[in-house]
Amino acid sequence: MSDIRVTYTGILSFVVAILTVILGVVFTLVLTRQLSTEDYGTWGLINGMLIYVTMIGPIISFWATRETSRGIESGKTAVIGSSALSCISVIIYIPIAYFMGYQTQTDQNVLVFSSILIPAIFLNGILMAINLGWKPHTISYGTIIFGFSQVIFVIFFVFYLELGVQGAILTNLFSYFISITALLIFTREKLRNNFNKIFLKKWVNLSWLPLYPALSIVIDGLGIAIFSIITGSVIGIAFWTVAIVTPGIISHAGLISRAVYPKLLQGGSRHYLQDNVSQLFYFSLLITGFVITFARPALFAMNPIYESAVLVVVILSARNFFQVITNVSIMNLGGIETIDVEKNTTFKNYIRSQLFYPHSIKLLQTIISMVALTIGLIILVNYKIQEIELLVFWASVTLVTQIPLSLYLLNLMQKKLEIRFDLKIILKYLGITIVSFGIIFVFLENFLDYNKQVFVFVPNVLFFALLGILLHVIISYILDSRIRQLVSNIVKELKNKTL
């Protein structure tokens, strides 16, 4: 059993995530500048469908992390089993691709071609799950390798060869292959065991447990299909796909808590939890403030035609902040649950456990959100509401339904893990975020030149972005002793780091 280092893994994951964001911006810029609005909408549709059919992955990856953390050697069985699941997903995906192509008047051949990504997604995912339970910091290495590969291949396939959506698909495929190779190297020690059908039998018998949380993700993913079918167009999906790019950065703040889950599974002292929760709020607020401040410049950089989606980005940024809190709360609650190692556990016991109950609350929230979205869109479309206003409605529905869920699960985590939340500290971090990025927002409004030449505009935006982050860090360091201690811990961890 490894000695998982929470602070080192969290900071490394966060730093790598920021670098990945920069690489992702380059990837997105190439796509938004090279693809037409229709083609980019098709790319968004593909991503939505892939999320839908890869939801069966946790049948094995869920157990791979938990068992690896507890020293159970099931790695090879997990990889073989996950590969078999990928074949099932391909079979499910192909008829869905034909149906969605017909409904949205999208090239069906392109949608079907994208099915080649499914096996790579599964293999990459199971290797990350095994590493999460053993050496979670190595996941960051695979992530950054994938990011660099994406930039190289998208320039080659999309920019140079002009292969369009097919080029984007090939870009991700080859990037996954390189990431998989790196993850195989990191996790090779955990794959030297034999295939054991007993593990596979257990996972299949309990498949309903990891699949249950996936239901909320699947239902939430239906938003793209609901919107495109009701509006009869993928133009709005193109704007939505662009709008979710920058708020997506906020999810990386949750990586600060990446190592907490396997650490909780290992048992022992929980002294690290209090500081980790404070760090979670600090980085979540930092990135949320950053994304809201740079919403307009980010959209303009991707393509000026998407600039009208600023309000959508702002609303989704707030939604994603609460999503981070929700996801970390659920993850930590699952980390303290030991029902899966107890003998003669009944179905009723599982239903009452922290592996099931928090996801029931999240599922209810998702269903309410999708029902409200469907009814609202049907009504608004009849009134000939513009698509950008429909997207604002979509984003608002997700935010309004997300807030109560996040607050409830946060309170539940506080009670179960016996954590004391310091509201004054959280409000201090919020105040620092408002002041630092408020100043930068004023600078942007008065001094940023919205030049349509991307290679002129982006460097100017990066200057203000670095200035905003630097200002935030300086103010934080001066006003908060916890941040000063965090900087000290980072230095110590870097000196003691191991692969």
pLDDT for 499 equals: 43
* Structure token pair of residue 268: 């022992």
Contact 402, 323 (CB under 8 A): yes
Let me know if residue 133 belongs to a domain.
yes
The CA R_g of the chain, rounded to the nearest whole Å, is: 22
Instruction: Look at residue 439 and tell me if it is in a domain.
Output: yes
Q: Is residue 1 part of a domain?
A: no
Segments of the chain with pLDDT less than 70: 1-8, 268-269, 493-499
Cα gap 23→29, rounded to integer Å: 10
What six digits make up the tokens of 393? 């409605």
pLDDT value of residue 1: 46
C-alpha to C-alpha distance for 234 and 110, rounded to whole angstroms = 15
Which two structure tokens, joined as six digits, stand for 379? Answer: 């009504």
| Amino acid identity, position 326 | T
Which amino acid, 13?
Answer: S
Tokens of 1: 């059993």
Question: In the prediction, which pLDDT does 168 show?
Answer: 94
Under 8 Å between Cβ of 404 and 361: no
Residue 42 lies in a domain: yes
Helix axes 208-231, 387-416, angle to 10 degrees: 160
Pair of tokens at residue 299: 């959209």
- Look at residue 61 and tell me if it is in a domain: yes
Alpha-carbon distance of 343 to 352, in angstroms, equals 16
Q: For the chain, what is the domain count?
A: 1
How many whole angstroms separate alpha carbon 128 and alpha carbon 187?
9
Write the pLDDT tens digit of every residue in 347-401: 888 888 888 999 999 999 999 999 999 999 999 988 878 888 999 999 999 999 9
pLDDT in the model for residue 14: 74
What domain range is 395 assigned to? 6-495
